[in-house]
Structure 1
Amino acid sequence: MSLPRTPSFRLDGRHALVTGASSGIGLACAVALAGAGAQVTLAARSKDKLDDLARQMAAEGMTAAVLPLNVADIAATESAIAREGPFDILVNSAGLARHGPALDTTEADFDAVSDLNLKGAYFLTRAVAAGLIAAKRPGSLINISSQMAHVGGIDRAVYCATKHAVDGFTKAMAVEWGRQGIRVNTICPTFIRTALTKSTFANPERRAWIEDKIKLGRVGEVEDLMGAVVFLASDAASLVTGTALMVDGGWTAE
């Protein structure tokens, strides 16, 4: 009898695009993919931060290129993807949150969050898929969503709306492109300790609410997402598409 072998988690020879790569979750995902052997293109608005990250990664033997990019600028994004691609892997970690009571939501805040989290994510994912389809190549497209794509949250009506929508279009795209070998999934983190969540954790009431909801009893760290993104990008997840990988410490289990 021939024993089964675990599919490889290695990403050698694959080209990955990571948006929102200049900090936090995006940075961790970029390092994780490069550490698994991928050639990573780092994308974000801040070229200086990207250059610094690329230098640090190169010093540790990782391959990274820099692509200044504002995902909310659809035309510029599509042009950059067509020029730099095709990309075998996409990790879209670019995102925006403007939290506040629903009754205080302004149209400007709604549009800003929606333009990046939903519209930008949609057209970015579509652009990377178009490049793969034209090249007749399979791929793994990963949108960083949120546990808030599956529940509601205090002062998060607009953010929740965009993340629910991201999980929705991810499922539809997975159905549409499955026959081309293109897998589309989301990763849904709980509250992760980054510069963007510092003010939330500084609020004792919010921190208590968060820690009560997370069944493992601790907030998330960026390292908690690194294995998840390598898994979804790799052949180990070759039958995984149209799903949301919850990295939420059990928040949504009840």
Structure 2
Amino acid sequence: MEISFKGKRVLVTGASQGIGRELVKKLVKCGAKVIAIARNQELLESLQKEEPSIEIYQADLANWKKTEEVLGKIGNVDLLVNNAGLAVLGPLTEVKEEDVDRTFAINVKAVINISKYVINNLLARKSPGSIINVSSQASLTGLVDHTVYCASKGAVDAFTRSAANEYGKYGIRVNTVNPTVILTDMGRLGWSDPKVAGPMLERIPLRRFGEVDEVVNAIIFLLSDMSSMTTGTNINVDGGFIAV
């Protein structure tokens, strides 16, 4: 499929590395004007060296007010990918308050805050739009040592359904992409031990973890008019994990 975002301004959070970084590159290839937000200024600058056409903004999305200040500088946004995320893993009995607060601030509050800005912008211009929230298979199943993370991604899915229902009449679509383990640099490191990876792979019918471009391609599809009748839904990029 030939997908073009020419003339579209696309905001991507968590853009400096992993899925977000590769997504930015793919969007540029598709003709989009990309606005990249991340916490790490050095990585953002290195991305801009690779893709000089992009705009970069440094922000800690856990800070609602500071994020609002950054959003106020970026102007119109046609498409949004809420990709920034945080996972603090461990037994429920060892969870600390700061783990919960930080996880929900990044995974949930930031999604609400940024989506609110973009939807207001779209409504003011009477423009349709598409918002993709990067969720997880963890929103749809229970994973050991993932209680806080599962709860936060479950909230993302619930928010997505509600926002899709609320703003569909304005031509604004809201969906999630729900990946399994994806082999980013961090993913390869975290799942390199066969003893850790083995049990998870046994639960995935395709018997492998996902590649970054497989998530990027799903996001590109949902952002585009190719998915014009799709809203309020999850696209599982999980090798069949949730289906069995």
| Length-normalised TM-score, structure 1 | 0.92
Question: How do 1:59-74 and structure 2 match up within 5 A?
Answer: 63-74=53-64
Q: Deviations over 1:118-176 (max 9, x none)?
A: 11111111111111111211111111100111111110000000000000001000011
* C-alpha distance in structure 1 between counterparts of 2:189 and 2:143, whole Å: 16
Partner secondary structure for residue 40 of structure 1: strand
* C-alpha distance in structure 2 between counterparts of 1:84 and 1:220, whole Å: 33
Equivalent pair of 1:141/1:183 in contact (CA under 8 Å): yes
Amino acid at match of 1:221: E
Partner secondary structure for residue 251 of structure 1: coil
Q: Deviations over 1:67-98 (max 9, x none)?
A: 11221111122232233132111111111111
1:40 corresponding residue in structure 2: 34
The answer to whether 1:180 aligns with 2:170 is yes
How many residue pairs match? The answer is 244
1:159 corresponding residue in structure 2: 149
* C-alpha distance in structure 2 between counterparts of 1:77 and 1:133, whole Å: 20
1:3 corresponding residue in structure 2: none
* C-alpha distance in structure 2 between counterparts of 1:213 and 1:57, whole Å: 38
Q: Deviations over 1:210-238 (max 9, x none)?
A: 21112111111111112111111111111
* C-alpha distance in structure 2 between counterparts of 1:206 and 1:121, whole Å: 30
The answer to whether 1:110 aligns with 2:104 is no
Amino acid at match of 1:218: R
* C-alpha distance in structure 1 between counterparts of 2:71 and 2:130, whole Å: 15
Segments of structure 2 that go 5 or more residues without pairing to the other structure are: none
* C-alpha distance in structure 2 between counterparts of 1:130 and 1:123, whole Å: 11
Partner secondary structure for residue 26 of structure 1: helix
The answer to whether 1:217 aligns with 2:207 is yes
| Length-normalised TM-score, structure 2 | 0.95
Q: Deviations over 1:9-37 (max 9, x none)?
A: 21110000101000001112211221111
1:57 corresponding residue in structure 2: 51
Amino acid at match of 2:35: T
The answer to whether 1:135 aligns with 2:129 is no
Segments of structure 1 that go 5 or more residues without pairing to the other structure are: 1-5
